Structure 1
Amino acid sequence: MSNPEIRELEAFLALAEELHFGRAGERLYLSQSRISQLLRALESRIGGRLVDRTSRRVRLTPLGEQLHVGLRPAFDAIVATIDAVRDTARGLGGVLRVGFQGTANDLFLRAVTAFRDGHPDCAAEIVEIPLSDPFGAVHRGEVDAAVVLMPVLDDALVLGPVFSARPLTLAVSARHPYARRPAVDAEELASGPLIGIAGAAPEYWRLVQAPAVTPGGRAIPAGPAVSSLQEGLALVRAGRGAMLLCDPTADYYGSHAVAFVPVTGLPESSLALVWHRNHETARIRGFARALADVTGDAGAAG
């Protein structure tokens, strides 16, 4: 029996994870018929059916499940090794695109500078990504990695250095009753609308940035949902609601029209570097080490 070709393995992995011939083809920029052809070739080499296909669904056979479980980590390791060797051969050259949400804080910018200093052959570019879609740019390959607000509960993403843990503040209009308060308890969030985040962000993530209930279980009225930080602050200035923000963002966007009041009783907000598990490169690992060095996250510097 001849050994499978790399394209056959790629097609099988895409199909095993999408369970749809059309989506698997889109993922690899191939037609559905080409995916079917590659699958048949692989099944012929193996000597058994890997996929059951009906008019309504696609599912793996037990043989397909066994192949997927064993093949995915091995395939990822091969791709990562080739990427690492290629980057070494190129002196880690090329372009690294790193996304950020809202504001590029000082630690992030220091890491970018450190990476550029350590890898002069690699151009590091920073790109603002929508507040409403923290992970989409990484999944679509528009950026190589991104600094996003926690939490991150996406198995397809690698969680790199976690940093900048800071208390939350409540952004309110300067005319708001809380504007001159030294602090606000989390239970007091139930007294007025809280501006939320619209778009493609997963619900678990949106509910951390704009919770629906207080820690004590009181309902928090939902205000308008926004796609960007600037849009949210404009609504705050207009008195349409309050918005939870981390301390560094409040420092950066200080304004006479908006007051930033510390909130007690909520967990701190943190940032994290993430990248796609299937697209890890030596450049990404180099930037993760630079960020870990700057932030002191030694556990993520390996």
Structure 2
Amino acid sequence: MERRDLEIFLILAEELHFGRTAERLHVSTAMVSQTIKSIERRIGVPLFERTSRRVALTPVGRRLEEDVRPAFLQIEEGIARAVAAGRGVTGTLRVGFVGTAIGQFVIGVADRFSARHPECEVRIIENRYADGTSQLHADEIDLLLAGAPSLEDDLAESPVLFRESPVLAVSARHPFARRESVAMADLTRDQVLMPRSLSQEVDELVVPPLEGLRRGPSFSTIQEMLALIGAGKGVFPVPAHAVHYDSRPDVAYVPIRDGQPFAWRLIWRATAESARIRAFVQAAEDAVKDDPSPLIP
């Protein structure tokens, strides 16, 4: 049964008058009559008693109205909320990030967004490094600030907001710690840590498949990664902001002179795009116009 058919039935059950029902729905009286006859044929019994003086629900019609109306109203309210969410900047927006510095940038953008759209709550949610885009797909967050493209057809992304040079995180006791810089080829001279659960395609955006490359222990979080590096268990390329925000006495950061920059952008599920998401992306773009290097203290 079509939604329009149910609507006609329920309004006629309220009005008990074909003419008034037609006026409310902006259709002809003939259409109301034809629709009710069609429903009655499908159900197999009359739903309304019709005389020249009155229209009344039959017992079956009354039972159908009692059963259907609550569900129909719930559907209508759900559609209305979805339309409002798509058109208006209200409700709740969940934004994911990885790392302290990225969190500070996201919070700054959220403040700018909230000043423009006070009726929309922003929730900041930390991702583990190894989560990748899984929280987006699980509908646990609406947006994710990521340092590389998504590589997934069902995800959309903003223009690149800002870029960062890569540095190699090594143990403070590592020979590389005394160098001014290293090359990507130098990664083959030690074990490179492995992010747990990330696909090979995503991992290779940060660690290219160099000949002779050896992979070391796996990690899920930035703190796990730094603990392993500080203990001399391997090395890993990270964004340059780590020098300031992830400083530790047992870890050194060495510039990678030929490394691919981290290109930060917002990512979201294409099917979930809304006015909230578009407004947050705009706030982020405006923020980097004011400060093109937002992670440099």
Deviation at 1:151, TM superposition (A): 2.6
* 3-state SS of 2:176 partner: coil
In the alignment, the residues of structure 2 paired with residue 160 and residue 83 of structure 1 have an alpha-carbon distance, to the nearest angstrom, of 26
Identity of aligned residues (%): 32
Aligned length: 215
* 3-state SS of 1:194 partner: strand
Look up the equivalent residue of 1:109 and give its one-letter code.
I
CA distance 1:4–1:210, shift in 2 (3 Å): farther
Q: 2:277 aligns with which of 284, 288, 293?
A: 284
CA distance 1:226–1:88, shift in 2 (3 Å): closer
Corresponding residue of 1:142: 140
- Superposed, 1:193-204 pairs within 5 Å as 193-199=191-197, 201-204=198-201
Corresponding residue of 2:131: 133
Corresponding residue of 2:207: 210
Instruction: Quote the RMSD (CA, aligned, Å).
Output: 2.4
Q: 2:253 aligns with which of 251, 256, 260?
A: 260
In the alignment, the residues of structure 2 paired with residue 286 and residue 228 of structure 1 have an alpha-carbon distance, to the nearest angstrom, of 30
In the alignment, the residues of structure 2 paired with residue 236 and residue 270 of structure 1 have an alpha-carbon distance, to the nearest angstrom, of 24
Structure 2: which 5+ runs fail to align? 5-78, 291-297
Look up the equivalent residue of 1:118 and give its one-letter code.
R
Deviation at 1:202, TM superposition (A): 2.4
CA distance 1:159–1:82, shift in 2 (3 Å): farther
Look up the equivalent residue of 2:173 and give its one-letter code.
R
Deviation at 1:93, TM superposition (A): 2.1
| Greater Rg by CA | 2
CA distance 1:253–1:272, shift in 2 (3 Å): same
Runs of 4+ in 1 over 6 A off after TM superposition: 3-6, 81-84
Deviation at 1:258, TM superposition (A): 0.6
Q: 1:275 aligns with which of 260, 268, 273?
A: 268
Deviation at 1:210, TM superposition (A): 2.7
- 2:89 is aligned with 1:96: no
Q: 2:238 aligns with which of 229, 237, 245?
A: 245
Look up the equivalent residue of 2:138 and give its one-letter code.
R
- Superposed, 1:1-302 pairs within 5 Å as 85-87=83-85, 92-105=89-102, 106-199=104-197, 201-213=198-210, 218-296=211-289
- 1:66-85 Cα offsets, whole Å, 9 max, x none, are xxxxxxxxxxxxxxx97785
* 3-state SS of 1:150 partner: coil
In the alignment, the residues of structure 2 paired with residue 228 and residue 143 of structure 1 have an alpha-carbon distance, to the nearest angstrom, of 18
In the alignment, the residues of structure 1 paired with residue 2 and residue 213 of structure 2 have an alpha-carbon distance, to the nearest angstrom, of 56
Look up the equivalent residue of 1:141 and give its one-letter code.
D
CA distance 1:174–1:104, shift in 2 (3 Å): closer
- 1:46-97 Cα offsets, whole Å, 9 max, x none, are xxxxxxxxxxxxxxxxxxxxxxxxxxxxxxxxxxx977850387x5221111
